[in-house]
Structure 1
Amino acid sequence: MAKVEVTLDAELVVEVMVLSGIGNPRDAVEAVVRDYVARGHRTEARTGGTDARLREIAGEPKVEEG
């Protein structure tokens, strides 16, 4: 898997570490991001992929009437 380096505000990272209970900054931020992505997948599974349909609608050309 490709790696990406991101610069974050130290206070934000410390808060993530405290809230997650993880002592390593990189692991704490990774855990939060993975949780956020997993939550999004669970929501899509429950709602039947509404977001996918909205993306399709947004990408379709608009027909002007009148």
Structure 2
Amino acid sequence: MSEVMEERIAYLERELADLSDVVTRQSGEIAALTRRMAMLLEREAGREAEEAGTVPLADQRPPHW
């Protein structure tokens, strides 16, 4: 194999490793954000349940309507 091809392969292998690291990190961040979102939705549902007789926030019209 020529020297140029070996350099290209080495570059591509390094880029692949870097991209793999990014994807792994982002996967962890997405999982954490998904857990936080579920927690917040549960917390808000609990608040809405405590406010018996009111229209749930998701069903309310925005104030500018």
Superposition TM-score, scaled by structure 1 size: 0.40
- Which structure ranks higher in relative contact order (CA pairs < 8 Å, sequence separation ≥ 6)? 1
Pair member with larger Rg: 2
Q: Which structure shows the higher helix fraction?
A: 2
